[in-house]
Amino acid sequence: MPGTSGKRVDLDTEDLAVKSKDTVLTRGETLTGILTFILAKTAASDISNNNTSIVVHFKDSQGNSYQTGKTAVGAKR
């Protein structure tokens, strides 16, 4: 996971924006990887250590809507 000491991530294989284009999922399957967000005019200090959270809303190619659970920015699982 990025940010973990000693860990490397190959974005060519783990980037969900790339993986999702090449992967067909059947009902109940999941796709794991890394999503990278760029927040214009935002510094890391603006969102760290102040209870900032994120929820991602998205649609699949058939137009079905989904959302992730609320997660604290920088939270470790």
Q: Is residue 64 part of a domain?
A: yes
Q: Is residue 67 part of a domain?
A: yes
Q: Is residue 1 part of a domain?
A: no
Token pair of 74, please?
A: 């920088």
Q: Is residue 5 part of a domain?
A: no
- Whole-model pTM: value is 0.49
**What is the C-alpha to C-alpha distance for residues 37 and 56, in angstroms, rounded to an integer?**
11
Confidence of residue 67 (pLDDT cuts 50, 70, 90): very high
If one counts the domains in the chain, the total is 1
Q: Is residue 41 part of a domain?
A: yes
Q: Nearest-5° angle of CA 24, CA 25, CA 28?
A: 175
Q: Is residue 65 part of a domain?
A: yes
Q: Is residue 48 part of a domain?
A: yes
Q: Give me the domain span that covers residue 21.
A: 11-72
Cβ-proximal residues to 73 (8 Å cutoff; 6+ apart), any chain: 47, 48, 52, 53, 54
Q: Is residue 4 part of a domain?
A: no
- Express each pLDDT in 3-62 by its tens digit: 567 777 777 778 888 888 888 888 888 888 888 777 788 877 777 767 788 898 988 878
